[in-house]
């Protein structure tokens, strides 16, 4: 029986990417470009960041901000990536949604860790202490624990389809923490300063500091995109290897 190829409608958009081969081809095309953009943005951002004048209060340490703030943005951004991946698993059952969520977890944990470490280094000269148990810092530490717990959950369930759904439920419930982190500096009186970029009206930061910060933010975003696509590719290949191994094992048994 021959299939009339004209009647098959080519899938479009995200549905088309459900085919791993097509997705891998896209990744192969995109990753070099994204990597180049990342390097260029980091070059510009770091150059601008280091050539900026010292802050009148914070002195030279203000430059930590150019790493700290973007890392924290991406730590939360990676969680939102996981949330959309979780929705993709539970609502649309997109085959790559779990791969996307799973690949974002270690990256998010890395950015969270970077945010905590740079914040701590910044806090030492500014606040006189490495660590305080205030709302922003604590909720951010909780985010790190949630990331690590999710990674453990993903690893402890063997069957991929089941681990995807279980982790998706926990990701969605854990998302409660994100608004708590975002608004902790406004709800509680803490040592951590409140938001000075993403607020209604004009940011309360001089343009001199704002532009390098935004470029560094973009650089981190592209870094995340590059690494995320690469991690997704690794995860897909890992799954293909596993299924090949299973098939090989079954051949031996026959």
176 counts as binding another protein under rule CB under 8 A: yes
Contacting residue, 173, 195, 237, 244, with another protein by CB under 8 A: 173
142 counts as binding another protein under rule CB under 8 A: yes
Closer to another protein by Cβ: residue 56 or 133: 133
Piece of 47-55, 70-78, 153-161, 204-212 that binds another protein (CB under 8 A) = 153-161
Q: 176 in helix, strand or coil?
A: coil
DSSP 59: B
Closer to another protein by Cβ: residue 66 or 79: 79
Closer to another protein by Cβ: residue 27 or 142: 142
Which residues are bridge partners to 55 per DSSP? 59
Give me the phi and psi of 59, to 5 degrees please.
65, -140
Residues within window 66-125 making contact with another protein, judged by CB under 8 A: 90
Handedness of CA 205, 207, 209, 214 (dihedral sign): positive
Closest CA to 90 of 166, 150, 179: 166
Count CB-CB contacts under 10 A for residue 199: 11
Dihedral of CA atoms 199, 205, 206, 207 in degrees, nearest 10, equals -50
Give the residue carrying structure tokens 């996307």. 100
Closer to another protein by Cβ: residue 141 or 230: 141
Closer to another protein by Cβ: residue 24 or 175: 175
Would you list the DSSP string of 212-226? HHHHHHHHHHHHHHH
Contacting residue, 148, 214, 221, 225, with another protein by CB under 8 A: 148
Would you list the DSSP string of 38-55? HHHHHHHHHHHHHHSPPB
156 counts as binding another protein under rule CB under 8 A: yes
Total residues found in the chain within this entry = 254
Contacting residue, 121, 166, 191, 225, with another protein by CB under 8 A: 166
Closer to another protein by Cβ: residue 27 or 180: 180
44 counts as binding another protein under rule CB under 8 A: no
Question: Interface with another protein by CB under 8 A: which residues?
Answer: 90, 138, 142, 145-146, 148-150, 152-153, 156-157, 162, 165-166, 169-170, 172-174, 176-177, 180
């Amino acid at each position: 029986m021959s299939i009339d190829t004209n009647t098959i409608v080519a899938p479009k958009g995200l549905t088309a990417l459900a085919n791993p081969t097509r997705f891998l081809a896209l990744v192969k095309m995109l990753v070099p470009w994204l990597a180049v953009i990342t390097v260029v943005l980091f070059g510009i951002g770091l150059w601008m960041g280091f050539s900026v004048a010292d802050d009148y209060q914070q002195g030279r340490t203000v430059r930590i901000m150019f790493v700290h703030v973007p890392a924290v943005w991406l730590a939360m951004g990676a969680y939102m990536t996981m949330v959309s991946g979780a929705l993709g698993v539970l609502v649309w059952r997109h085959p790559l949604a779990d791969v996307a969520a799973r690949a974002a977890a270690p990256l998010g944990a890395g950015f969270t860790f970077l945010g905590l470490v740079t914040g701590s280094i910044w806090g030492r000269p500014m606040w006189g202490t490495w660590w305080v148990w205030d709302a922003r810092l604590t909720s951010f530490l909780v985010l790190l624990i949630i990331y690590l717990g999710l990674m453990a959950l993903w690893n402890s369930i063997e069957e991929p389809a089941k681990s995807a759904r279980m982790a998706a439920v926990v990701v969605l419930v854990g998302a409660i923490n994100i608004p708590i982190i975002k608004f902790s500096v406004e709800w509680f009186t803490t040592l951590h300063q409140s938001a000075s970029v993403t607020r209604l009206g004009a940011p309360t930061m001089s343009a001199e500091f704002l532009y390098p910060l935004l470029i560094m933010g973009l650089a981190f975003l592209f870094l995340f995109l590059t690494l995320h696509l690469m991690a997704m590719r690794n995860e897909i290949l890992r799954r293909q290897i596993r299924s090949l191994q299973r098939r090989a094992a079954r051949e031996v048994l026959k």
